């Protein structure tokens, strides 16, 4: 039974009712956060001490601990943020150091932060330095480790006891922690763009003389993922306001510590890329993680989108086209001619089928037109397709039905022709809209880095790790297709968030709005 159901809000004076209601809602949210934290701790303990944990290899255990630690750090960051929000607005989380003193051999760069004025408030004159506060944080620049030493001199007046001044300490994303925002960006890019799991990064740092455990890196990544969530959510909102999007999904093997084996999760890529017709909206991609491939996951991710969706032939998307679709009006799908071509190519490569060869020749004619109209306006593309491609597609349709009447539907070729027949309406969508592509290769290209990360890291260590994987990959992927250097972007974005970047200006933090410093 919830607290709201126990307390009779009608008995509370009107002036206090809203505050009580808000407090009850906050308590409910904190209970959910605590429940999630307890669940993650239980899973972490099971992976460490469970009877079946011996079935896991060392790499498997490391990945499980890594992603669970990231998830726990994210929960802790949310609890800390809510605690500060519930206070007087000035409270700060207690400083925590994840390792001991930084090695003395690392170079130090001192940044002295002076007060705006050294004039004593009482008018006695210029104040004199009486001491200073020093703090050290680990900073990483490519191929170099160094320590940033922040020096804040203290000044006092010799004529009175009231004139002590010192510059305030700068804000950091992880207060009291060792990493600079550049260090956090480096770890994120190394893990999600360069495909280096955290325990391997720890090994690399150890060779440089820095003993930094994988658990410390996981803590950093989890907190960074939490703080970057609003940016990724806003990125998804921008994409879903588009008239046309691509969507595709790929497997993301995830470790299941309870069984000592892997299970199959999925990362769903939702992408916009209007560059082929010189669209004004910048390209972008968001990766959503789900523990399965059910079409209801796509339905959830696409809440608020009502345009044309360019996809492959996976039947899980069919629910999006029905009046019963949740989260918006039925979408119109555009199917992919590259997938249709691939079906025929598989048969031709195996059997040398003349029928498959004829189908490939006909599809090549469609692509020849597309090559001629690449980069022109949607109106010009549509005119060219209606004049040149539409007759070719109609002839292909007649040819397709003629071949299906002659070939058994149970044969290998018959199955491929049936696939094309079943997606025929969606394969013609590009003929009616100049903004639609002939295939979904754009989003397939964006899926490849995920597959590469999967190949190098073997699998995610936990479902929660899949969520963080998708979140950081969204920002890195969007950076890449906009020609933005991911490290520079993440460093600047994390720094802006640490300095209290206002939520109302969150669009300034989207990758396509990033302006590198001169």
pLDDT in tens, 96-108: 545 457 888 888 9
Dihedrals phi, psi of 435, to nearest 5 degrees: -85, -10
Could you tell me which residues come within 8 angstroms of residue 495 by beta carbon, excluding any fewer than 6 positions away?
Answer: 173, 181
Check residue 462 and give its pLDDT.
Answer: 65
Q: Hey, CA dihedral for 473, 474, 477, 483, is it positive or negative? A: negative
Query: Do residues 82 and 105 share a domain?
Result: no
Cα separation values, 24 from 15, 34, 67, 148, Å: 16, 15, 32, 43
Q: Average pLDDT, stretch 179-197?
A: 91
Q: Could you give the CA distance from residue 300 to residue 513 in angstroms, rounded to a whole number?
A: 27
In a domain, 509, yes or no: no
Domain boundary among the residues 413, 447, 481 is at 447
Distance, CA of 492 to CA of 514 (rounded, Å) = 9
One domain for residues 68 and 120: no
Q: Range of 118's domain? A: 100-177
Q: Is residue 515 domain-resident? A: no
User: Whole-angstrom distance between the N-terminal and C-terminal Cα of the chain?
Assistant: 58
Residue 428 in any domain: the answer is yes
For 53-69, the pLDDT digits (tens) are 455 555 566 667 777 78
Reading the block at residue 34, the tokens are 């605590």
Residues 265 and 373 in one domain: yes
Give residue 338's pLDDT band: very low, low, confident or very high (50, 70, 90): very high
Is the same domain home to 270 and 406? yes
- Residue 249: beta bridge partners? 268
Least confident window among 34-48, 141-155, 332-346: 34-48
| pTM greater than the 0.85 cutoff | no
Beta strands 164-166; 144-156: pairing state: antiparallel
In a domain, 294, yes or no: yes
Q: Which helix (H) or strand (E) holds 355?
A: helix 354-373
Same domain, 67 and 155: no
Same-domain pairing of 71 and 146? no
Evaluate whether residue 305 is within a structural domain.
yes
Last residue of a domain, one of 416, 447, 478: 447
User: Same domain, yes or no, for 269 and 332?
Assistant: yes
Counted domains in the chain: 3
Q: What pLDDT score does 299 carry?
A: 92
Query: Tokens for 354?
Result: 């003349």
The tally of CA atoms less than 13 A away on the side-chain side of residue 517 is 6
- Give the pLDDT mean for 253-261: 62
Average pLDDT, the chain: 85
Same domain, 327 and 357: yes
- C-alpha span between 495 and 465 (Å, rounded): 24
The pLDDT value recorded for residue 256 is: 63
216 in any annotated domain = no
Q: What percent of the chain has pLDDT over 90?
A: 49
Q: Which of 63, 86, 109 is the last residue of a domain?
A: 86
pLDDT (average), residues 210-229 = 89
Give the pLDDT score at 416. 95
Question: pLDDT by residue (tens digit) across 458-502?
Answer: 445 566 777 888 899 999 999 999 999 999 999 999 999 999 999
Q: Is residue 296 domain-shared with residue 437, that is, in the same domain?
A: yes
In a domain, 301, yes or no: yes
pLDDT at 515 over 70: yes
Are 308 and 397 within one domain? yes
Whether 462 is covered by a domain: the verdict is no
Q: Among the listed ranges 71-80, 247-256, 466-475, which one has the minimum average pLDDT value?
A: 247-256
- Is the confidence at residue 335, as pLDDT, over 50? yes
Per-residue DSSP letters for 421-486?
HHTHHHHTGGGS-TTS-SS-HHHHHHHHHHHHHHHHH-SBSSHHHHHHHHHHHHHHHHHHHTT--H
* 283 and 245, same domain (yes or no): yes
Q: Which of 105-114, 197-206, 253-262, 330-339 has the lowest mean pLDDT?
A: 253-262
pLDDT tens for each residue of 380-396:
999 999 999 999 999 99
Identify whether residues 361 and 277 lie together within a single domain: yes
Confidence of residue 250 (pLDDT cuts 50, 70, 90): confident
Q: Give the H/E segment covering residue 379.
A: helix 378-384
Backbone angles phi, psi at 147, to 5 degrees: -115, 125
């Amino acid at each position: 039974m919830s607290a709201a159901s126990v307390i009779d809000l009608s008995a509370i004076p009107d002036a206090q009712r809203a505050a009580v209601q808000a407090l009850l809602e906050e308590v409910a949210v904190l209970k959910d956060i605590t429940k999630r934290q307890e669940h993650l701790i239980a899973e972490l303990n099971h992976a460490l001490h469970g009877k079946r944990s011996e079935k896991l290899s060392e790499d498997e255990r490391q990945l499980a601990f890594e992603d669970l630690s990231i998830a726990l750090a994210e929960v802790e960051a949310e609890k800390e943020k809510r605690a500060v929000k519930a206070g007087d607005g000035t409270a700060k989380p207690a400083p925590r150091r994840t390792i001991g003193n930084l090695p003395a051999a690392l170079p130090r760069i001192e940044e002295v932060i002076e007060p705006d004025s050294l004039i004593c408030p009482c008018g006695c004159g210029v104040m004199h330095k009486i001491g200073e506060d020093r703090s050290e944080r680990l900073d990483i620049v490519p191929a170099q480790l160094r320590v940033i030493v922040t020096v804040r001199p203290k000044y006092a007046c010799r004529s009175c006891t009231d004139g002590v001044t010192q510059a305030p300490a700068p804000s950091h994303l992880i207060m009291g922690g060792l990493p600079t925002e550049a260090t956090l960006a480096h770890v994120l890019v190394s893990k999600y763009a360069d495909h280096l799991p955290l325990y391997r990064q720890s090994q690399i740092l150890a060779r440089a003389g820095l003993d930094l455990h994988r658990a410390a890196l996981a803590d950093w990544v989890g907190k960074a993922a939490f703080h970057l969530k609003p940016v990724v959510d806003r990125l998804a909102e921008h994409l879903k306001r588009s008239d046309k999007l691509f969507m595709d999904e790929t497997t993301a093997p995830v470790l299941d510590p309870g069984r000592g084996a892997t299970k199959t999760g999925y990362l769903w890529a939702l992408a916009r890329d209007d560059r082929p017709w010189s669209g004004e909206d910048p390209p972008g991609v968001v990766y959503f993680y789900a523990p399965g491939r059910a079409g209801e996951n796509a339905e959830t991710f696409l809440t608020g989108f009502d345009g044309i969706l360019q996809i492959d032939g996976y039947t899980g998307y069919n629910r999006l086209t029905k009046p019963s679709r949740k989260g918006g009006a039925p979408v119109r799908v555009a199917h992919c001619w590259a997938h249709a071509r691939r079906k025929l190519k598989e048969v031709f490569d195996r059997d040398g089928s003349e029928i498959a060869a004829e189908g490939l020749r006909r599809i090549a004619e469609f692509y020849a037109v597309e090559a001629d109209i690449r980069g022109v306006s949607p109106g010009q593309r549509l005119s060219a397709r209606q004049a040149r491609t539409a007759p070719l597609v109609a002839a292909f349709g007649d040819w397709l039905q003629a071949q299906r009447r002659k070939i058994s539907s149970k044969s290998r070729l018959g199955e491929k022709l049936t696939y094309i027949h079943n997606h025929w309406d969606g394969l013609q969508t590009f003929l009616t809209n100049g903004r639609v592509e002939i295939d979904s290769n754009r989003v397939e290209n964006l899926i490849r880095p995920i597959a590469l990360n999967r190949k190098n890291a073997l699998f995610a260590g936990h479902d929660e790790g899949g969520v963080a994987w998708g979140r950081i990959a969204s920002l890195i992927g969007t950076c890449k297709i906009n020609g933005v250097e991911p490290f520079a972007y993440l460093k600047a974005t994390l720094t802006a968030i640490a300095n209290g970047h206002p939520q109302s200006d969150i669009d300034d933090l989207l990758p396509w709005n990033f302006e590198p410093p001169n």
